Amino acid sequence: MSRPDREPRLWLAAAILIVAAAGAAFWVPGVLHTGGHFPVPLDDVYIHFGFARSAALGHPFAWIPGNGYSSGGTSLTYPLVLAPGWLLGFRGERLAIFAALVAGASLVDLARSLRALAPRWIAWAFPALLVAVPLLDWSLFSGMETALLGAVIGRALLAAHRAAVAPPARRARAQWQAGGWAALLAATRPEAAPLALLLALGVVHAAGSLRSAPSIARAFGPVVLFLAAQAIANRALTGEWSAAGAVRKLAGSNPYTTPIEAALEAIKNLAALRSQAFEVPLGGARASWVVPLLGLAAVLEGRRRRLALPLLLGAAASVLLVSFNTTARFQNFRYTAPALLMLLAAAAIGAASLARRGRLGGALAAGALAVAVVAPARAFPRQIDHFARSSANIAGQQVVVAARLGALSPRPRQVLVGDAGAIPYLSGLPAIDGLGLGGYRGLPFARASVHGVPAVVELIERLPLDERPDVMALYPSWWPGLADVFGRRLSAVRIEDNVICGADEKVLYAADWSALAPPGEAREGAIDAIDVADLVDERAHDYEGSFPRGGWVVGRVLALGDGAPRFDAGRIVPQGRAESFAIHLLPAASNGTAALVLRTDGGGEGAIRVTVERSGTVVATRDAELPARPDDRWHEIHVPLGPVRDGDRVRVFALRTAFRDFHAWLLREQP
């Protein structure tokens, strides 16, 4: 065999060895710290495993079979890639081994894609470059979708390049292929959507003799169709255009904060990410500029500009999106991993561009790559140690809790968890994720968890009695007003040296929902009703709260008129503010004279004003005084409204002191 024929095989062998060595550097200490468990440093990894198991069982896009569609999987493609591993026998914790194999193969594939865009000699540095950043390696070898995203980035770059250089007769087909890979980028990780669109733009720019409109359709069509289909499916099946992760984590989803406060949070995140996720991981203040400057070298070369510029701009757009994520600074900055991958890919393309410029360019490329590989290396001990300790945390807490739940007798009917990860996956028990990433029968748990714990309890109240969780596995500090009110402590798992879990102690509770209303409870004589802070009811009545800086959710268990304890959630209407809802008369009701009955809790004297609006015009105004009320039971405020019609809007103003509204009924007034 001639030397040229051997070179690709030698390069591939070297790439496999480098990637395997980098993975082993993290996995071996992780195994030692976990006592033999394959290391998984993030509980979120098990969310992907749950979706993969469901896909393997014929329930794609469901977290647990039977729970229905969920938009909580941040990657649509990754569970589908893992599903064959589950079918092949990599089940339970063993699926982490298959995920490690996927990660290794994905990184080698990314290196091969970049090699196809570079002179052969410079490509020998690419495998080392891709695993040179310890912070990125933490995510690449964690079991998350990061490495798979890298492989898709590489394939999308190759497809975009081939669409640009293909002969006119084959360029249309190449554009379709580039568009398909762009769609896979967006499907693999939402932060990659800007890169997908920018690569599509580059494909259109390189259309040459082909007409622009068909080229736009071929390059942009797949990714736009995917994003639109995903949004439509989310809306139809969950009531939200956005995925559950965005609803739960983006600063703009918090109803209580102003746009300015959300922007300030993003600015703080940007400052932290610039330093802790890029400057420090890439080797320090000076060395960190080498990687983006290498990418800039490719931008200055015409042949690779359509690849390098989307990578650099896509990385910037990805970081901007991540800055609005309220968890951006947690979990070892894993949300910045896509941007780091894009920067390293741009650096590889830039090094290739320099290498084509003769000996001086080759020397510059080699020197810059050496700095990019060596400068971050001093962080390896710290990142490997953090990876191992994090893996020990997950194994010592989440995995142990799952085993403890699985061993309970009688077997729990349904478990309420606050993190859709290892506990439901490894225990094999039916579960509801209170944070909403798991999804359950289309109920808006993700949105409710942002509004507050009592709003989550309102959704549990909607469930049939036999579907309400009988066991809870929660961090008590995350769920005030739930675990302490509706739970009886059974046992707990506490870990030391916690660096990744939500709290040191995870507690198991037996659940008691006897204070909740029975499903379908209706008040006699009511022609309409709205359970305030029940997001399903609020949506049905087009509820408008006193947001932002108002409308906060509160929950109480107080006595009804007969002395029975009853939970209800409500909202605080600050003094001088208002809430409103549309009247939707029950089918058996008709337009006529009605009274509004408002449930509130104890408190001092106050006053409210109620108006009825019809087609934007106020047709009735009523004031009501609130007397001082004892705090041990529920109280009702009766406000006659006069004639009302279906579609009228009732607005409640807090005139004097804040008003706490828990429930509203529209009752037919007797003539």
CA–CA gap between residue 660 and residue 571 (Å, rounded): 6
521: helix, strand or coil: coil
- 14 near 124, Cβ under 8 Å? yes
Distance of CA 474 to the CA centre of its chain: 19
519 within domain boundaries: no
In this structure, the answer to whether residues 649 and 500 fall within a common structural domain is: no
In this structure, the dihedral spanned by the alpha carbons of residues 485, 490, 496 and 497, taken in order and rounded to 10 degrees, is: -40
Q: What is the per-residue pLDDT across 150-161, written as a single tens digit (0 to 9) for each?
A: 999 999 999 999
- Average pLDDT of 362-367? 96
Residue 327 covered by a domain: yes
What is the biggest distance separating any 2 CA atoms in the chain, rounded to whole angstroms?
102
Question: Count of domains in the chain?
Answer: 3
Q: Is residue 336 part of a domain?
A: yes
- Average pLDDT (508-512) is 98
Is the domain of 288 the same as that of 364?
A: yes
CA 462-463-467 angle, 5° bins: 165
pLDDT above 90 as % of the chain: 96
Say how many CA atoms lie within 13 Å of 215 toward its Cβ.
Answer: 20
CATH number of domain containing 555: 2.60.120.260
Cα–Cα distance between 464 and 224 in angstroms, integer?
Answer: 39
Q: What phi, psi does 169 have (nearest 5°)? A: -70, -25
Cα 570 to chain centroid, rounded: 27
pLDDT band of 586, cuts 50, 70, 90? confident
Pick from 351, 384, 417: which residue ends a domain? 384
> Is 486 contained in some domain?
yes
Q: Both 199 and 269 in a single domain?
A: yes
Pairwise CA distance, residues 485 & 490, whole Å: 14
Q: Cα–Cα distance between 530 and 361 in angstroms, integer?
A: 71
Question: Which residues 6+ apart lie within 8 Å of 640 measured at CB?
Answer: 595, 622, 669
Q: Crossing angle of helices 193-205/305-323, nearest 10°?
A: 150
- 326, amino acid identity: T
Q: Tokens in use for 74?
A: 């941040």
Question: Rounded distance, CA 170 to CA 537, Å?
Answer: 55
State whether residue 157 is helix, strand or coil: helix
CB 527 within 8 A of CB 666: yes
* pLDDT reported for residue 354: 95
Q: Please check whether residues 301 and 422 belong to one and the same domain.
A: no
How far apart, in whole angstroms, are the C-alpha atoms of residue 105 and residue 94? Answer: 17
Segments in 88-211 forming alpha helices (H): 95-115, 120-123, 126-130, 134-140, 146-165, 168-188, 193-205
Burial of 97 (0-12, 13-18, 19+ CB in 10 A): middle
Other Cβ atoms within 10 Å of 251 Cβ, number: 19
How is residue 558 annotated by DSSP? E
pTM of the model: 0.95
pLDDT tens by residue, 463-490 = 999 999 999 999 999 999 999 999 999 9
pLDDT of residue 587: 78
Per residue in 21-32, pLDDT tens? 999 999 999 999
Identify residue 616 by its one-letter amino acid code.
Answer: G
Inform me whether the pLDDT recorded for 2 exceeds 60.
no
Q: What is the pLDDT of residue 1?
A: 46
User: What's the whole-number mean pLDDT along residues 514-528?
Assistant: 93
Average pLDDT, the chain: 96
- Residue 521 within any structural domain of the chain: no
Sequence-distant (6+) residues with CB within 8 A of 261 are 251, 548
Tell me: do 249 and 378 sit in the same domain: yes
How far is Cα 332 from Cα 583, in angstroms, rounded to an integer? Answer: 48
For residues 661 and 625, is the Cβ–Cβ distance under 8 A? Answer: no
Q: What φ, ψ does residue 511 adopt, rounded to 5°?
A: -90, 145
User: Can you give the pLDDT at residue 671?
Assistant: 56
Residues 499 and 367 grouped into a single domain:
no
Q: Are 566 and 618 in contact (CB under 8 A)?
A: no
The per-residue pLDDT for range 225-246, each reduced to its tens digit, is 999 999 999 999 999 999 999 9
Facing residues of 232 across strands? none
Distance CA(87)–CA(142), nearest Å, equals 21
Q: Tell me the percentage of the chain whose pLDDT exceeds 70.
A: 99
**Is 569 found in the same domain as 482?**
no
Same domain, 503 and 435: yes
Domain extent at residue 637: 526-668
- The residue out of 349, 364, 384 marking a domain boundary is 384
> Does residue 234 fall inside a structural domain?
yes
Q: Are residues 351 and 250 in the same domain?
A: yes
Helical (H) or strand (E) element with 622: strand 617-626
- Average pLDDT for 577-606: 91
Position 182 in a domain: yes
Q: What is the pLDDT of residues 103-142, one digit of tens each?
A: 999 999 999 999 999 998 999 999 999 999 999 999 999 9
Q: Give the Cα separation of 662 and 458 in Å (integer).
A: 11
Whether pLDDT at 670 is above 70: no
Q: What is the pLDDT of residue 589?
A: 75
Contact 569, 454 (CB under 8 A): yes
Q: Are 645 and 584 in contact (CB under 8 A)?
A: no
Q: What is the pLDDT of residues 52-107, one digit of tens each?
A: 999 999 999 999 999 999 999 989 999 999 999 999 999 999 999 999 999 999 99
Same domain, 29 and 151: yes
Question: Residue 210 pLDDT > 80, yes or no?
Answer: yes
* Domain end marker among 456, 479, 511: 511
Strands 471-474 and 663-668: unpaired
Residues 468 and 539 in one domain: no
User: Is the domain of 463 the same as that of 598?
Assistant: no
Is 516 part of any domain? no
